Every structure is written in C-alpha cells, then in structure tokens.
C-alpha cells in the first residue's frame, strides 16, 4: 500500500500540523505502509509536476495550516495542477484524508474546501482531522490527542484496505460537466504539459503575452462608452470554437447596460447581440469588471460563479460549463 502526504504549510518550527503528520506517518510505518511525504514549499517551482506522483498512490493526506485565511497558496496550486494535469481516472480511485490545523479561525471551512475540491476532482474522501492549536506542545503532551490521531491514521488504512465505498457526491457533476468529451489527457500528454509549466522561462513568456493582451483589450474597452452596443461582441465571435453536443441560450445582464448580452450557441452556429429574450437556458448577472476578466482570459464563467464574483446565475450548471468550452478566451 502506498500513501502520499502533501504538506501545504511553510515548515515553521511552531507549526502543529507537522506534529500531526509525524504521528500519522509513525502509525502508517508500523502498519508497513510505504509513505512518501512532499513538503510543497520545497517544490514551489515544480508544483505543476507533482500530480505525476499520484500514479502509484492508493491514498493521500492533504495537510494544511490556516495562518490567517484558508488553506494557503501552495495547496491551492497543487490542487489546481491536479485539475489541469492530473490523471482523472487514477484520481477516481484514490482516497484522501484532510488534515487542517489552525492558528486562527477557519479550520472547519478549510477542511470542507479540501474535501469539496477532491470530490470535484473525482476522488474519494475519508473523514479527516481539524483543530485549533497555538503551540505544538499542546499536541505533544496530550496522550488522548495522540490516540485520536492514531485512530484516524488507522481509519485511512482500513478505508484503503477494505476498499470503502460511499454514495456519489453531487459536486462531482461539476467535473463531468466541465470536461468536454474526448478532452481527457493521457498521462504522457499531462507529463509533457507539466514539463512546459515547470519551465520558468516558458511560464514567464506566457505571463508577458497575457499581460500584453490584457493591456491591449483593456485599452480598447476603456476607450469605448459603457453603453456601447458592440462591446464584447467581436471578442466573443473571435473566441468561438464549436464543440460537439454544446448548445444553449445565455442571457447576461451587465451593469450599466440597458439591454442584456444574448449568446446563442447551436452546434457550429453562434449568435451574439444585445437585446431581450423571454427565456434563456442560463441567465447571469455580473459586473463589467468580471466580464472584462472573462474576456481577458483571467476568469471563466464557471469560476466566476463558483467564487461568488458572479452576482447571480439561474439555469442548468452543465449548460453554463458548456459556454466556457465554446468560448475559451
């Protein structure tokens, strides 16, 4: 049995998360489990390549420290890389136990976010550990807390060994609805992409190109009046790439716009104009700043909804995901 531990903290001496991980690793070693630990701060320049380490894993531990808000950047980067480059078929069979220790408020929200992220990726979850500690000595000196950690480690071992099953989660629909048919990358293709992303010169070039495009489009949009009835239309038509099975009618209400932006997709046909419509498959309401981010390629419609930056959304979420597929700005 192979279990990987991914630690998203900063490796500070007073980080109680490290005490928990040492205890978990000790128990797993006694159970003769092959344990590999990855301190993400040590791999910060190559995090996009780490999803390849999931190939031989039966289970993983995602460990994070809440220092002020959320589970931190390194863990977020790792999960983003799993979404972009991970082998989804392999992830579907991997059990994940989250461990979140907080120095401030928010450990329960962080552990919930980790569980949701892993379920969206298609993986399986095992109940994890979360708590609030200001000093690692509180953990080191408590035999009762050590026993609790041992029990959780044993639960993870049993879940893998017994191939524990659970009901499907509704948020896995997001993964199915977000990936167009036939778009899953092979492990070899994922590895090649990961190599590109880990090349700092390549990444820097891409960032500069994106910045140039962003400034170009921003300059164009700033020069137009807020009420222009041509705004966004040329960008939408230029970005359109039809996808098999993706059709729908989208109505977007933008601030300072009297009429809605109506996008109709029917196979290889696209219609984009300002006007009114009695009923659309998906209705959205957002600020022009959010729409600018989407058109500039810094945001997607799906991410705007999931992050709460989109004011409102009504309709079928799967059809919303289809809009990102046919409009890859």
Per-residue model confidence as pLDDT tens digits over 242-280: 999 999 999 999 987 889 999 999 999 999 999 999 899
**What pLDDT, on the 0 to 100 scale, is given for residue 246?**
92
| Span 8-48, pLDDT tens digits | 888 888 888 898 999 888 888 888 888 999 998 888 888 88
Which runs of E-coded beta strand occur in 90-239?
95-102, 124-125, 129-132
Q: What is the pLDDT of residue 307?
A: 83
Same fold for the pair 2-178 and 225-326: no
Where the chain has pLDDT below 70, the residues are 167-204, 206-207, 214-229
pLDDT confidence of residue 226: 45
Query: Kind of pairing, strands 34-39 and 95-102?
Result: unpaired
For residue 266, give both structure tokens: 């029917």
Inter-CA distances, 105 with 18, 34, 97, 293, Å: 19, 34, 21, 31
Determine the Cα–Cα distance for residues 315 and 91; give it in Å rounded to an integer. 29
Angle at 85 between CA 83 and CA 90, to 5 degrees: 80
Query: Residue 113 and residue 100: Cα distance in Å, rounded?
Result: 11
Q: Answer for the pair 63, 8: CB distance below 8 angstroms, yes or no.
A: yes
Kindly report the CA angle at 299 between 315 and 304, in degrees rounded to 5? 35
Q: For domain 2-178, which architecture applies?
A: 3-Layer(aba) Sandwich (3.40)
pLDDT of residue 109: 87
CB-count exposure of residue 209 (10 Å: 0-12, 13-18, 19+): exposed
* The pLDDT value given to residue 225: 46
Contact between residue 97 and residue 58 where contact means Cβ atoms under 8 Å apart? no
Domains of the chain, by residue range, sit at: 2-178, 225-326
Strands across the sheet with 312-315, in order?
A: 269-275, 260-266, 247-254, 282-286, 312-315
- pLDDT for res 282: 94
Do the Cβ atoms of 5 and 35 come closer than 8 Å?
yes
Which listed CATH number (3.50.50.60, 3.30.1050.10, 1.10.40.30, 3.40.50.2300) goes with 225-326?
Answer: 3.30.1050.10
pLDDT for position 318 = 86
pLDDT of 137: 81
Residue 308 main-chain phi, psi, to 5 deg: 90, 0
- The dihedral over CA atoms of 110, 113, 118, 120, expressed in degrees to the nearest 10, equals -170
Supply φ then ψ for residue 70, to 5 degrees: 75, -175
Report the C-alpha gap between 129 and 158 in whole angstroms.
16
What b/e string do you get for 174-208 counting C-beta neighbours within 10 Å, with b at 16 or more? bbebbebeeeeeeeeebbebbeebbeeeeeeeeee
Q: Are 196 and 49 in contact (CB under 8 A)?
A: no
């Amino acid at each position: 049995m192979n279990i990987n531990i991914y630690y998203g903290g900063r490796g500070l001496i007073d980080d109680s998360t490290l005490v928990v991980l040492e205890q978990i690793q000790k128990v797993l070693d006694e159970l003769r489990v092959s344990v590999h630990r990855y301190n993400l701060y040590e791999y910060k320049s190559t995090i996009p390549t780490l999803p390849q380490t999931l190939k031989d894993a039966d289970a993983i531990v995602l460990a994070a420290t809440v220092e002020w808000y959320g589970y931190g950047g390194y863990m977020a980067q790792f999960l983003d890389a799993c979404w972009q480059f991970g082998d989804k078929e392999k992830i579907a069979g991997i059990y994940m136990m989250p461990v979140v220790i907080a120095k401030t408020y928010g450990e329960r929200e962080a552990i919930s976010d980790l569980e949701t992220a892993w379920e969206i990726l298609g993986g399986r979850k095992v109940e994890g550990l979360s708590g609030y500690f200001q000093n690692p000595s509180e953990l080191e000196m408590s035999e009762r807390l050590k026993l609790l950690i041992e029990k959780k480690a044993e639960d993870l071992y049993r879940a893998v060994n017994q191939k524990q099953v659970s009901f499907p989660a509704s948020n896995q629909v997001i993964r199915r609805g977000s990936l167009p048919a036939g778009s899953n990358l092979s492990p070899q293709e994922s590895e090649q992409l990961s190599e590109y992303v880990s090349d700092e010169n390549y990444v820097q070039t891409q960032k500069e190109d994106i910045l140039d495009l962003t400034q170009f489009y921003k300059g164009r949009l700033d020069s137009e009046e807020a009420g222009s009835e041509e705004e966004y239309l040329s960008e939408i038509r230029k970005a359109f790439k039809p996808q098999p099975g993706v059709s729908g009618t989208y109505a977007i209400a933008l601030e300072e716009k009297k009429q809605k932006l109506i996008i109709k997709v029917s196979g290889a046909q696209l219609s984009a104009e300002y006007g009114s419509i009695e009923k659309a498959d998906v209705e959205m309401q957002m600020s022009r700043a959010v729409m600018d981010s989407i058109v500039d390629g810094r945001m997607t419609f799906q991410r705007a909804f999931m992050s709460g930056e989109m004011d409102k959304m009504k309709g079928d979420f799967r059809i919303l995901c289809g809009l990102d597929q046919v409009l890859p700005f």
